[in-house]
Structure 1
């Protein structure tokens, strides 16, 4: 389960870490900070969906819905901690500025995406590839031979 958390976090945070400089150096001067973030958000949603889908398909026999919720919440906590670390150490921002002094529009969307990131593994496990909890298995029907 720890490997699933680390993998999910690393995949999505890594993409965000690559997109951040592109947003700041390429998009912000052309379209402004708010529009640059609004352009980046759909890319991050796709990255989150792909990472969660891959993760659930890879580990689906191992985890229950509750454990998938834990994986998502733990990965989201790591994302928030990493965002703070990047803000403090690379961008020289205060903790207050990182967490609370966001644009009212993009800040709300950012936190909504963090919540979505936390819920996606559980949601995808439920909708794409439902699995019975460990220790229970239902007999599978075999196709008739003739």
Structure 2
């Protein structure tokens, strides 16, 4: 397995695990109090902050080289994450593909799509920080 794919698998497992912990707290504690959109505004910075923290550690551990490999790592992780999210939603919420896709046309869904894009780009961005020499 290539270093970028190994990094993608570890990155998605870390992110999915964190989301699996935060998601129920969002749904059962925050959504009833503040609604879905505000609950996402609380959860997403925590989740993306964790991803920004873990990405460089995974990059170092797997030895993912700078540049395109880190971009491949992020987008491979996104493909894996979307697959896991969909099948978890099918199993736990009874989602179907049409309903899942339609949800992205809502404001919370668009915010989620933006967060997915940031998630995919974080290995490239966060990885650049470990390549910058310190003075």
TM-score band (shorter)? 0.7 to 0.9
TM-score after normalising by structure 2: 0.85
Q: Does the alignment pair 1:82 with 2:84?
A: yes
Determine which of 51, 58, 61 is the counterpart of 1:58: 61
Structure 1 unaligned segments of length 5 or more: list them: 132-146
Structure 2 unaligned segments of length 5 or more: list them: none
Determine which of 16, 19, 22 is the counterpart of 1:19: 22
Instruction: Find the residue that maps to 2:131 and give its secondary structure.
Output: coil
Coordinate RMSD, CA, aligned: 1.8
Q: Distance in 1 between matches of 2:45 and 2:108?
A: 12
Q: Distance in 2 between matches of 1:49 and 1:99?
A: 26
> Would the aligned equivalents of 2:56 and 2:130 in 1 still touch at CA under 8 Å?
no
Q: Distance in 2 between matches of 1:64 and 1:32?
A: 40
Q: Distance in 2 between matches of 1:73 and 1:34?
A: 25
Deviates more, 1:98-107 or 1:35-44: 98-107
Deviates more, 1:86-95 or 1:8-17: 86-95
Q: 2:130: which partner in 1? A: 129
TM-score after normalising by structure 1: 0.79
Q: 2:106: which partner in 1? A: 104
Q: How many residues align?
A: 129
| Higher share of residues assigned helix | 2
Q: Distance in 1 between matches of 2:41 and 2:66?
A: 34
> Would the aligned equivalents of 1:65 and 1:125 in 2 still touch at CA under 8 Å?
no
